[in-house]
Amino acid sequence: MIMGQLGTSVPDVMTPEARNFYCRVLEKLNEEKMPYLLGGAYALGKYTGISRHTKDLDIFAHERDREGLFRILADMNFHVDPYFSHWLGKAVHGEDFVDVVFGAANGIATVDDLWFQHAVKARWEGIPVQLCPPEETIWSKGFVMDRYRYDGADIAHLIRAWDRLDWKRLLWRFESHWHVLLNHLVLFMYIYPGERSRIPKWVMDDLVRRLVQQAGKSEQCGKVCRGVLLDGRQYQIDLDLWGYHDPRLRPQGNLSRQEVKNWTMHLESEQH
């Protein structure tokens, strides 16, 4: 694969039924001029050349287009399930489904207009599509690091494969969560010691400077556990037993108590 260009040799691992379903959805959305972005495993495959069929297609959309997009899918006679109001819906066809993503489960990385302004044009199965930008992909995947799923390898592979990252926008996206970005960058330097130069020195200088400034100092933010932004299961005990505040809740976060409760119940059900 040529660095900075879209991968062109992603092996075919889909069933004919899944391919037909996905193509119908993408072609219909294009026909209806519905704004969407292709993300997930297939977008990552276009960027890195890594093929990983997960029996679903991830479509990212702006919250304002939720109802219109769901209506189009329902009119195609697919079963549409709003699933989780704050970040995810599904369109199901047999054993395959399309995930419609509006943000992240923890309330961060919400799809906004910048996702579309910086989208990358591509073709998927011959269909013209726009891919989620690499920067926003890193932002949304950066917080996925729980016991059952960890997207750190996706981030490392993306940094290795894509040499046109907008590092200023990436830093801006993580904002007060820059520790999470630093974590992934340190791991990248460990994973690929011969390719550390892919991360500009000024980026690491900036993040390490912030880290040193915070060393030995506690923030005046009260008793908060940000662990639930990374893993809603393993850090639940901090909230339930030890009295830590949940940073996902408004006004500090973007979620209501009911949204957090629904998501927590779902995570608990997956363990049984």
Measured from the Cβ of residue 42, the count of other Cβ atoms closer than 10 Å reads 23
Q: Are 56 and 83 in contact (CB under 8 A)?
A: no
pLDDT for residue 125:
93
Position 144 in a domain: no
* Of the residues 132, 164, 179, the one at which a domain ends: 132
Whether residue 270 is predicted with pLDDT greater than 90 in this model: the reply is no
In a domain, 146, yes or no: no
Are 119 and 159 within one domain?
Answer: no
Burial 110-126 (b: 16+ CB within 10 A, else e): ebeeebbeebbebebee
On whether both 104 and 36 belong to a single domain, the answer is yes
Q: Same domain for 199 and 241?
A: no
The CB density around residue 240, as the number of other CB atoms within 10 Å, is 10
Q: In terms of residue numbers, what domain contains 164? A: 152-214
In this structure, the answer to whether residues 208 and 232 fall within a common structural domain is no
Assess contact for 57 and 40: CB atoms under 8 A.
yes
What is the CB neighbour count within 10 angstroms for residue 93? 19
- Is residue 180 domain-shared with residue 261, that is, in the same domain? no
Reported as a pLDDT band with limits 50, 70 and 90, residue 15 is: confident
Please determine, for residue 8, whether its predicted confidence score (pLDDT) is greater than 70: no
Q: Are residues 99 and 60 in the same domain?
A: yes
Question: At 11, is the pLDDT very low, low, confident or very high (cuts 50, 70, 90)?
Answer: very low
Task: Compute the mean pLDDT over every residue in the chain, rounded to the nearest whole number.
Answer: 93
Q: Are residues 23 and 115 both part of a single domain?
A: yes
Residues 24, 122 within the same domain:
yes
Domain CATH for 97: 3.30.460.40
Report DSSP letters for 222-261, one per residue: -SB-GGGGT-TTTTHHHHHTS--B-TTBTTTSSB-HHHHH
36 and 93 housed in the same domain? yes
Q: Does residue 25 sit in the same domain as residue 110?
A: yes
Using a 10 angstrom Cβ sphere, with 0-12 exposed, 13-18 middle and 19 or more buried, the burial of residue 63 is middle
Write down the pLDDT at residue 6: 58
Per the DSSP assignment, residues forming a β-bridge with 73 are none
- Whether the pLDDT of residue 154 is over 70: the answer is yes
Give the phi and the psi of residue 130 in degrees, each rounded to 5.
-115, 135
Distance, CA of 78 to CA of 56 (rounded, Å): 14
Residue 124 and residue 231 in one domain: no
Query: Residues 104-119: pLDDT tens digits?
Result: 999 999 999 999 999 9
Position of tokens 């819906």? Answer: 89
Per-residue confidence (pLDDT) for residue 164, from 0 to 100 = 95
Strand order across the 127-131 sheet: 79-84, 88-93, 96-101, 56-60, 37-39, 127-131, 120-124
Q: What pLDDT sits at residue 37? A: 98
Strands 127-131 and 88-93: unpaired
> Any idea what DSSP says for residue 133?
P
Q: Which residue has the tokens 């892919």?
A: 198
Q: Read off the pLDDT of each residue in 160-180 and give the average, rounded to a whole number.
A: 97
Would residue 7 count as lying in a domain? Answer: no
Q: Are residues 190 and 232 in the same domain?
A: no
Measured over the CA atoms of residue 98, residue 147, residue 136 and residue 186, the dihedral's sign is negative
Q: What's the rounded Cα separation, in Å, for the pair 56 and 39?
A: 11
Q: Do residues 1 and 49 touch, judged by C-beta distance below 8 A? A: yes
Among the listed ranges 80-89, 152-161, 204-213, 241-250, which one has the minimum average pLDDT value?
80-89
